[in-house]
Amino acid sequence: MFVDRMQLTLIGGRGGNGLVAWRRLKYIPKGGPYGGNGGPGGSIFVQADSNLVSFDRYRNTKIFTAKNGRPGGPNQRQGARGSDRVIRVPLGTIVKHVETGAIIYDFTQDGESYLICRGGRGGLGNAFFKSSTNQAPNFSTEGTEGESISATFELKTLADVGLIGMPNAGKSTLFSALTSHDVAQGAYPFTTLQPNISYIENKSSRILIADIPGIIEFAHKNKGLGFSFLQHVERSSILLFVLDSSKVDNSSPIRDFEILQQELLAYNKDITRKPFAVILNKIDHPDSKSEVEQFKEKYGGSFPIVAISALLGTGVDEVRDLIIDMMDGLGPR
């Protein structure tokens, strides 16, 4: 299951209590205070892990707690520290405060870690309070509560390239052809129900590509899958609009392109400012030629346009080269 949003209540471990105890030895009948300090409570960390793609491991979790510290022992023994807990999240995770909506941390690098809830301090045993003016303190202190917070976790995938199109336009077929990553495909709308992430090689680096479920007209009014997954292309450097040129089901690449632009504008106008190219797919269909010509006649020269058949592999290498050229043109990432 693909989970890209969750809310957790996080609670650091409570510190262990200090102990009141006395030194009792055979030849020292009136030994002094000997109670140990309590151990600190465990803390909670959030850590980015590039091997993860969603929050599915936490889909049944509501409260996440660290272990409490152990109480102090006799003979001035320090209580054991409560064990820390680590929440592992995918790259692109944004953690926000539930009440204020303020961003707590944005995870963009593999392995980076953030201390989100510190464990409580251990209490002090009576041995700690012995002084020249108080040789036999008969008290200790309790450990303190750990920090707690309610936080939302939102995933915005860190893909370089976002594939956008209507349902059944062939995005997933193109995605598989570009990346050799097998995904569910079918001749029916909404075959893709969750984002797919893979990459193509570019010299010594990788270009990450995100294939998201199809967008339909009035998605901004929650029709179809609505805008459920558009956050996964918000951080993309470039967009590829994949359009169906086959005329099957009265498809029109010009009309579909205009609808997609309108829907993106309704979601977040900043997305429409990203560099983009248009991929006219399904040119293996006999009725596609006129649609491709009409589209190029209207938009030719305004942005890159590539006509392909993702199913047959025709033009896929040209798309791959275009992606690399566009990414190289953006400079160092």
- Same-domain check for residues 165 and 151: no
The enclosing H or E element of 243 equals strand 238-244
Q: What is the pLDDT of residue 124?
A: 98
- Same-domain check for residues 112 and 168: no
- Same-domain check for residues 136 and 195: no
Q: Total structural domains in the chain?
A: 2
Q: What is the pLDDT of residue 242?
A: 97
Kind of pairing between the strands at 63-65 and 5-11: parallel
Contact 83, 163 (CB under 8 A): no
The domain boundary, picked from 133, 155, 177, lies at: 155
Which residue type occupies 236?
S
- Same-domain check for residues 178 and 111: no
- Same-domain check for residues 254 and 200: yes
**b (16+ CB within 10 A) / e for 271-296:** beeeebbbbbbbbebeebeebbeebe
The domain boundary, picked from 91, 123, 155, lies at: 155
What confidence tens digit (pLDDT) does each residue in 238-262 have? 999 999 998 787 779 999 999 999 9
Is pLDDT larger for residue 332 or for residue 274? Answer: 274
- Same-domain check for residues 212 and 261: yes
What confidence tens digit (pLDDT) does each residue in 199-218 have? 898 876 789 998 988 887 76
- Same-domain check for residues 126 and 182: no
- Same-domain check for residues 204 and 267: yes
The domain boundary, picked from 95, 128, 155, lies at: 155
Query: Which residue range(s) make up the domain with 40?
Result: 1-155
- Same-domain check for residues 178 and 303: yes
Interhelix angle 316-329/171-179, nearest 10 degrees? 80
Residue 98 pLDDT greater than 90, yes or no: yes
What confidence tens digit (pLDDT) does each residue in 164-190 have? 999 889 998 999 999 976 654 444 343
Residue with tokens 């059944």: 168
What does the pLDDT average to over 83-109? 96
Pinpoint the alpha helices (H) of the chain. 171-179, 253-267, 288-299, 316-329
Q: Quick one: which of 125, 133, 8 has its CA closest to 61? A: 8
CATH of the domain at 151: 2.70.210.12
- Same-domain check for residues 321 and 200: yes
- Same-domain check for residues 122 and 201: no
Q: What is the pLDDT of residue 254?
A: 95
Residue 303 pLDDT greater than 50, yes or no: yes
Q: What is the pLDDT of residue 31?
A: 78
- Same-domain check for residues 288 and 174: yes
